[in-house]
Structures are given as structure tokens and as C-alpha cells.
A and B are shown apart, each in its own frame.
Chain A
């Protein structure tokens, strides 16, 4: 590992330790257990990869597979944190939740299926599989978060400050992942495809300096935004968390059954009048 990689690894680990410290000091695991687990997974993965690099060497195949393994683990943990954000606060609104979870689950299945199909069609190389599935899952995360927020805004159910900060951080990480992985995947399947061919192994020593330079740039950009996201989460956790909001007292079911069709009918009449206005 060169100096830049060592500095990046240390600063990322430091940020993750501080973040985990904040999470447990503020007892955020009581409100958002899956987000707390995500922060622990981040720290565990960074430490695990670091140890693998130290023990097996930075350029060994074991380190290579360990790196892609941790990427997958991080993605799963992040997805669980997003599921928690979707559930948080909405479950108390039983009627809306019954509607929302079906919409989000259908969307998730659709996006996961798309990611699987997209990855299946790729050439047989871990890096190409990895970048494709990581990109598609990051894009799926952004879409699901956006749909969740649109639904919440539509029904006037705002997210609390901490949850908002978590969503902003995840959005930042996912956006950078999508952009970075799209560029990498395009390079891997295009100009650099020969890297993955066994017949080209003899060229590796000559290609190595260029590869390392590209890798440094990609790692620096990725880790910079990753640390920004962790900074956002740490900032949100700097103060003690407010007490969780009480569950809302719901209206009797007959209010909706009576009022909703009446309101819709009125809205439809209003639109009919507007249509009449537009007739020549």
C-alpha cells in the first residue's frame, strides 16, 4: 500500500470509530438498531480488509476477494438500514403503512430483479459482476429513498432530523457509488476488458503502475464522499437524541370511509368545471 492508501484507510477507520462511538453514546441503537448495525458492519469490514491486506498483501487474490466480499456485506447492511428508514415512524400510521410497504416491496423486487438480470449478462469476472450489482443496488437504494420521501411528503409525514441526515448520507454514498461504478464498469467491459483475459497475464507488470494510479483516484473520490457522509451522521448525532415521538391517535375508520369518497367526488367535480372552462 502506498502513503495515500494508508492515509485513506486510517482516516476512514477513524471516522467509523467516531461514528460508532456517537451511535452508542447517544443510544441510537434503541431507536434505529439496523442503522447501528450498519455502522458496526462498516467498521468491521474496514478492519477486516485492513487485516487481510496486512496479512496476505495488498495485491493478493485473497485481498481482492475480501474487498468485493465486504462491498457486498456493506450493501446488504445499507439496504437493511434503508428498510428501517422506511418503517420508522410510518408503522404507527397503520392505513398508510399497509399501502406504502406494498408499494416499496414491489419496487424493491423489481429493482433487485433488474440488478440480477443486469449482472447475469456480464462477462465472467468478479470485478465486473461486483461493479454492476453494486451500481444497480445503489441506484435502487436512491430510487426507494426518493419514493419513500415523496410518499411521506404527500401525506405530510416529515422525517425527523436524525433520519433525514441518515437519508442524506446514504444518498450521497449511493450517488457516488453509481457514478463511480458506472465509469469503472464501462472501462472494465470496454478498453480494459483484456485485463480479465488469462492470455494477457504477461502484460500485468507493465499495466500495474497505470492500474494503481486509476485505483488511487477512484479510492480517493469514493472515500472522500464516504467520509463526508459519516461526517453528516456524526453531526446529526452530536446532540442527545430527542425522545421518540408518541404514536398518533388514529381517527375512527368510519371518518375515512365517509369523507374520502366525498372529497374525491368534490375534487372530480372541480376538475370537470375546469375542463368546461377550457371548452371553446
Chain B
């Protein structure tokens, strides 16, 4: 590939990224710093999915799997196991959403802060990138049936504690900002 093709492809790729970034996206759950003041708590659902873990655990328990394998016809057992893996994957996606909300809260706080530390921001950026890679690997292992459920439970416990901490943090922010911010945040 010569210089000409490289520059043209590079220009087209960067322009494509730029246009993609400029396209309006209507994603109801997405909150940004500019709309934060209007409805802070509703705009940032912190962690919802971990709350369903008990039901998920019941549905995906080893005892259930064993029962299915021994008592159901092979094709039914196979289909059921496939569906259970799909449920676990969706649950993992939910946990991803919970993580993203926490990271987004960090970014919004940074945007609304009069001073930020470049070290903290770089660290959060790297943590986010690392998470994306790890999440993809876990998702792959879950899809191939290679991930024990108990380990997923540990992860869920962590997200649960995060959610509690987040709720407390939001209350603290509201208290600190009382009288300074318009709308529900300062209320």
C-alpha cells in the first residue's frame, strides 16, 4: 500500500469517526453533564441489574442443570442449557450497564468540577478500556459455558456494594450542592 492510499484511507476513517460522533443519538438512558441539573437521580440509574441476581441464581443453579440433564429428553435439556446461558449473558450485559453508570457518574462529576486531576482522569480512562476488554473475555467464556456461576455471584456482590455506595454518594453530592444547583440535584 503506498503513501497515497494510506493518507486517503486515514482521512476517510477519521472523517467517518467524526461523522459518527456528530450523529444525534436518541438513547433515553444516556445522561450528560449539560442535562444533569434537570433530573439528576432519574438520569443516572446507578445499579439495577444486580438486584435480580437471586432469581438468576435460582434459574441457573447446578441442581437445576443436573435435574434437566438426568430427567429431560436430550434435545430439551440442550435447549434449556442454551437458553440459560443466554440469560446469564443478558445478566452480564446488565452488570456492564451498572458499571457504565458508575463510570459515567465519575465523568459527570469531573465535568462539573472546577478543577480536575489529569492523573485521576487518565486512570479512569484506562480502567474503562481495561473493563471493556475483560468484559468481552468474560462474555466469551460465559458463552462457551466455561464460567462457573459462583464466580459470577462474587462479581454481583461487588456491584451491589457499589450501588449502595453510589446512592450514599449521590445523597452527599445533593447535600453539598444544596442551594447552589437548580432542580432536583440541589433540592
Q: Interface residues, chain A, CB within 8 Å of chain B?
A: 93-96, 98-99, 135, 138-139, 142-143, 145-146, 149-150, 153-159, 164, 167-168, 171-172, 174-175, 178-179, 182-183, 186, 245, 248-256, 259-264, 266-271, 273-278
| Contact among A175, A249, A251, A277 for B173, CB-based, below 8 A | A251
13 additional contacts (CB under 8 A) given A251-B113, A254-B176, A260-B120: A154-B107, A156-B32, A158-B32, A174-B15, A179-B8, A250-B114, A252-B176, A263-B124, A264-B120, A267-B102, A267-B131, A274-B134, A274-B155
Q: How far is the CB of B145 from chain A (nearest CB, A)?
A: 14
> Do residues A156 and B107 form an inter-chain contact, with CB atoms below 8 A?
yes
User: Of residues 125 to 159 in B, which have CB atoms within 8 Å of A's CB atoms?
Assistant: 125, 127-128, 130-131, 134-135, 137-138, 141, 147, 151-152, 154-155, 158-159
> Do residues A159 and B115 form an inter-chain contact, with CB atoms below 8 A?
no
> Do residues B104 and A249 form an inter-chain contact, with CB atoms below 8 A?
no
Q: Which residue of A lies closest to B8 (CB)?
A: A179
**Cα of A99 to Cα of B121 in the assembled complex, Å:** 9
| Contact among B111, B127, B130, B172 for A93, CB-based, below 8 A | B111
**13 A-B Cβ contacts within 8 A?**
A149-B22, A174-B15, A178-B11, A182-B3, A248-B33, A249-B37, A251-B176, A252-B180, A256-B109, A260-B113, A264-B123, A276-B151, A277-B152
Q: Which residue of A lies closest to B116 (CB)?
A: A95
Task: Determine the chain A residues whose CB is within 8 A of the CB of B124 once the complex forms.
Answer: 260, 263-264, 267
**Cα of A254 to Cα of B114 in the assembled complex, Å:** 10
Answer yes or no: B59 CB below 8 A from chain A CBs. Answer: no
User: Of residues 87 to 130 in B, which have CB atoms within 8 Å of A's CB atoms?
Assistant: 99, 102-118, 120-121, 123-125, 127-128, 130
| Contact among A159, A245, A253 for B22, CB-based, below 8 A | A159
Q: Which residue of A lies closest to B10 (CB)?
A: A139
Q: A182-B4, A268-B127, A270-B131 are in contact. Are A175 and B12 (CB under 8 A)?
A: yes
> Quick one: CB contact mask for B21-51 with A, threshold 8 Å, 1 for yes?
1100000001111100100000000000000
Q: How far is the CB of B164 from chain A (nearest CB, A)?
A: 11
Task: Determine the chain B residues whose CB is within 8 A of the CB of A172 once the complex forms.
Answer: 15
**Cα of A177 to Cα of B127 in the assembled complex, Å:** 37
